[in-house]
Amino acid sequence: MNLYELTLHEARDLLDKKEISSRELTRSVLDRIEAVDGQVGAYLTVAADSALAQADAADRAIAEGGISPLTGIPLAIKDVLCTRGLRTTCASRILENFIPPYDAAVITKLKAADAVLVGKTNMDEFAMGSSNEHSGFHITRNPWDFSRIPGGSSGGSAAAVSADMCIAALGSDTGGSIRQPASHCGVAGLKPTYGRVSRYGLVAFASSLDQIGPLAKDVADCAVLMNAIAGYDAKDSTSVPVEAPDYTAALRDGLKGIRIGLPREYFETEGVDPEVKAAVRSGIDTIQSLGAEIMDVSLPRSEQVVAVYYLIAPSEASSNLARYDGVKYGYRDKEQTTLMEMYRSTRSRGFGSEVQRRIILGTYALSAGYYDAYYGKASQVRTLIMQDFKKAFESCDAILAPVAPSPAFKIGEKTDDPLTMYLSDIFTLSANLAGIPGMSVPCGFSREGLPIGLQILGSHFQEETLLRVAYNFEQATDFHTRKPAL
């Protein structure tokens, strides 16, 4: 077995026993990137020198007995997280040469744990998209089929995990951007409860929806990463002062007696690929066979979710992205002679078309005269969506659902039709609107050999329940062990 193929917990074992060094492991991952990333395109920046220096520091720490669960583990970071001294672009031309003077809170935590940061991964520009086709630099290909998208917006992180170009990764999820690429690339991904992980240093897309979370080769690795990144942070005003548990402890319990809800509306949704339906159905059967009690629940506002999200997220984005004006940081069109022309030209040239579309949509929805009809109304329906989940979780502990209506689609298939692209987010958006945690685990493959994910949703701060369901499911199946032929 090649070292780059190891899971995080397998690598931990070998590092602790001193059978391998972090330098060997990091070298192996860097060689793998060298060998396959030309075809996949998962990375925007590979920080080989600093990664090897961090690996050496980790090896010294291990020799001195100062081991944390992440010491010496090579990780990939979505390029939406600020890394001090290391280019952070958000896959946007407007931040092409931006070198942050500070680390995001989660990066500070990873560095304190002696993890190795291999590089920054590709994404849809400012995390707006479901396919990585909206990156301002290059597309990322799905490692299972190069003619297909890896999902988005954390498509680079998901592809890097799936193609063994890192041991595990971080992504961000505003409306599905961890769960959907995890599903399309056949890896595990967890979006935590809103407020569980500090957003300090996460470049903002839609602040009331954004969360950072892990993408990993298996569920146990997600739990290890959650232990490293979860917890209160005074620098994020929406961080919740609730003690983070030991997430790996959640993996010990079985599923006897756990109550699983199936939202009627999700299973009646039209246009869901029959192979997705079949894989999710057999996932539910497996979970039932492990002792779970299955019941019907209702999420009556499911039909409104796409409309509500695509008003709230662009509204917040239009406000958050006002800061890229060519004055403070990032790209500036220096050829213009007046301030207004400089603003206009900088933003027209610096932002890609999807980002511009969202800024226009959001500005319109927030404008005087339309605010009540669009943003205001969407916020009211959002409250009803939250209440639907609250009610559902009175009778069940977790909800099972598809992640995406189809396996990974073809590159170019939906780029001309933003609405069709938006509709593919139908099953993931509600978790962000409600602020609840969600997870994706591999539950099958299509006839064409494309991975399919099973989504598990839980009530606020119930990540442990998700991990428990996901882990038991994983132990009973072998989908997570399969690898793309690269």
DSSP 211-232: EEEEEESSHHHHHHHHHHHBS-
DSSP 384-434: HHHHHHHHHHHH-SEEEEESSSSSPPBTTSSTT-HHHHHHTTTTTHHHHHH
Q: Site map for ligand GLN, 193-222, x if CB under 6 A?
A: ------------x-----------------
**For strand 398-402 and strand 259-263, is the pairing parallel, antiparallel, or unpaired?**
parallel
Q: Does 173 bind ligand GLN (CB under 6 A)?
A: yes
Q: Does 92 bind ligand GLN (CB under 6 A)?
A: no
Q: Is 302 a catalytic residue?
A: no
Q: Does 155 bind ligand GLN (CB under 6 A)?
A: no
Q: Does 130 bind ligand GLN (CB under 6 A)?
A: yes
DSSP E strands, 146-270: 168-173, 188-191, 211-216, 259-263
Q: Does 176 bind ligand GLN (CB under 6 A)?
A: yes
Task: Provide the 8-state DSSP code for 359.
Answer: H
- Residue 35's CB is within 10 A of a number of other CB atoms, namely 13
Stretch that binds ligand GLN, among 172-180, 258-266, 319-327, 411-419 (CB under 6 A): 172-180
Residue 58 — φ and ψ, nearest 5°? Answer: -65, -40
Stretch that binds ligand GLN, among 122-130, 181-189, 193-201, 444-452 (CB under 6 A): 122-130
Q: How far is the CB of 425 from ligand GLN (least distance, A)?
A: 5
Task: List the structure tokens of 12.
Answer: 């931990």
Q: Does 94 bind ligand GLN (CB under 6 A)?
A: no
Q: Is 147 a catalytic residue?
A: no
Q: Is 353 a catalytic residue?
A: no
Query: Quick one: 309 or 461, whose CB is closer to ligand GLN?
Result: 309
Cross-sheet strand order for the sheet of 116-121 = 43-46, 116-121, 74-78, 168-173, 211-216, 188-191, 438-445, 451-458, 398-402, 259-263, 293-297
How many whole angstroms separate alpha carbon 219 and alpha carbon 476?
13
Which one of 233, 425, 463, 474 is in contact with ligand GLN (CB under 6 A)? 425
Query: Which residues inside 379-418 make contact with ligand GLN, applying CB under 6 A?
Result: none
Q: How far is the CB of 421 from ligand GLN (least distance, A)?
A: 7
* Selected catalytic residue, list 21, 92, 131, 153: 153
Task: List the structure tokens of 140.
Answer: 């990322």
Stretch that binds ligand GLN, among 9-17, 114-122, 175-183, 464-472 (CB under 6 A): 175-183
Residues 137, 252: contact at Cβ < 8 Å? no
Stretch that binds ligand GLN, among 5-13, 93-101, 169-177, 242-250 (CB under 6 A): 169-177
Residues 404, 180: contact at Cβ < 8 Å? yes
Q: How far is the CB of 111 from ligand GLN (least distance, A)?
A: 24
* Selected catalytic residue, list 172, 177, 318, 424: 177
How many whole angstroms separate alpha carbon 465 and alpha carbon 456?
9
Binding-site ranges for ligand GLN (CB under 6 A): 127-130, 153, 173-177, 205, 313, 425
Annotated catalytic sites, by residue? 78, 153, 177
